[in-house]
Amino acid sequence: MGTIYDLAKKTGFSITTVSKALNNYKDVSEKTRAKILQAAAEMDYLPNAHAQSLSTKKSWAIGVMFSEANEVGMKHPFFNGIIESFRHATEEHGYDLIFASRNLRNRDMSYLEHFKHRAVDGIVVICSDRMDEQVQELMQSDIPIVVVDMDSANCSVVYSDNTEGARMAVNYLYELGHRHIAHIAGDSSIDAGAARVKGYELAMHALDLPIQPNHLVNAGFFSVEEGKQAMEKLLQLESPPTAVFVAGDQMAIGAIEAVHEHGLRVPEDISIIGYDDIEMIKYITPKLTTIRQDTDEIGEAAAELLIEQMTAKERRTERRVIPVRLIERASCAPVKK
């Protein structure tokens, strides 16, 4: 491959001139630039990124901290859509993504430390656990950062309009004639969970519908199993709801399972609406009606907010709320008389 020195020797110019030619400085004549570029092509020269970063203090790398909960990582059916879109968006600007290990040659260190070590230009955190110490540490650092699916006053964030989404879900069920609408909620320690609860409450209130305390059940951390258990609680009630808004698609899948196991049908006996619009719900029975979060747009927005900071080389804090939309499929029906 060769270095800039080889190129200098080969062309007879100094390394200074070579470097300048390569970087489009204007104080090098067209003729010599051409020679140098051609020589570079011939020996297929590539600049060494480490040397460049060392000297320019810019690494063209973005550190990503990804949800570690439940060992899912990149298998997370919602987050992986976001990171994919984020990747595309940043790629176009020439940035690479680096997934850091928290292990530096046997000494373990935090994400922040690792990112500093790698001298990334910015950080994206896609993770819903705001209590995570590592996340906190990242948010308090002075490296450009964007946080997805979480709110925060002192760094740039992007998330979808969760309260509005919850509202849409409730209103939709209302229009189908439902008056006993339950909510299987995500834990309030997670922003998205809390916001959807709030949206549910607001909507119910606006519709003048009372919220029965046992119709609002916390199902924890969005897993299928937790959704199933929550639904079982609802089904055991004396006056079970006729419809339920579930705060996540995976939980909704569990909920449907529970309904089926009780010998009831969705949506004939009970309507269910989910949240997220993950891939698989198009293939379950019945196809799940849900509130879609636009992962593409979330990823792009996150990229935009981060790139802005990285080029300005300063931390900023902007909030971007992405609209959601109801996807009507087959898991909701008009209430039975």
Partner DNA sequence: CAAATTACCGAAAGCGCTTTCGGGAAGAGG
Partner DNA sequence: CCTCTTCCCGAAAGCGCTTTCGGTAATTTG
**Which residues contact DNA by CB under 7 A?**
3-5, 12-17, 19-20, 22-23, 26-33, 45-48, 51-52, 54-56
| Total Cβ atoms within 10 A of residue 263 | 7
- DSSP H or E segment with residue 236: helix 224-236
Residue 61 binding: pick among its own copies, DNA, none (C-beta 5-8 Å cut-off by kind): its own copies
DSSP string covering 31-100, please?
Answer: HHHHHHHHHHHHTT----HHHHHHHHS---EEEEEE--GGGTGGG-TTHHHHHHHHHHHHHTTT-EEEE-
Residue numbers at the binding site for its own copies (CB under 8 A): 1, 44, 46-51, 53-54, 59-61, 72-75, 77, 80-81, 83-84, 87-88, 90-106, 109, 113-114, 116-119, 224, 253, 257, 279-280, 283-285
Q: What is the closest distance, in whole angstroms, from the C-beta atom of residue 253 to its own copies in the complex?
A: 5
Q: What is the closest distance, in whole angstroms, from the C-beta atom of residue 323 to its own copies in the complex?
A: 22
Residue 14 binding: pick among its own copies, DNA, none (C-beta 5-8 Å cut-off by kind): DNA
Residue 27 binding: pick among its own copies, DNA, none (C-beta 5-8 Å cut-off by kind): DNA
Q: What is the closest distance, in whole angstroms, from the C-beta atom of residue 318 to its own copies in the complex?
A: 24
Q: What is the closest distance, in whole angstroms, from the C-beta atom of residue 104 to DNA in the complex?
A: 11
Q: What is the closest distance, in whole angstroms, from the C-beta atom of residue 112 to DNA in the complex?
A: 16
For residue 143, the Cα-to-chain-centroid distance in whole angstroms is: 19
Residue 83 binding: pick among DNA, its own copies, none (C-beta 5-8 Å cut-off by kind): its own copies
Q: How far apart are CA 126 and CA 128, in angstroms?
A: 7
Residue 13 binding: pick among its own copies, DNA, none (C-beta 5-8 Å cut-off by kind): DNA
Name residues whose C-beta falls within 8 Å of residue 35's C-beta, 6 or more positions apart in sequence: 11, 13
Nearest to 194 by CA among 125, 280, 129: 129
Instruction: Give 7 or 197: the residue with its C-beta nearer to DNA.
Output: 7
* HSE (side-chain half, CA atoms, 13 Å) at 84: 11
Instruction: Give 58 or 336: the residue with its C-beta nearer to DNA.
Output: 58
Q: Would you say 271 and 84 are in contact if contact means Cβ atoms under 8 Å apart?
A: no
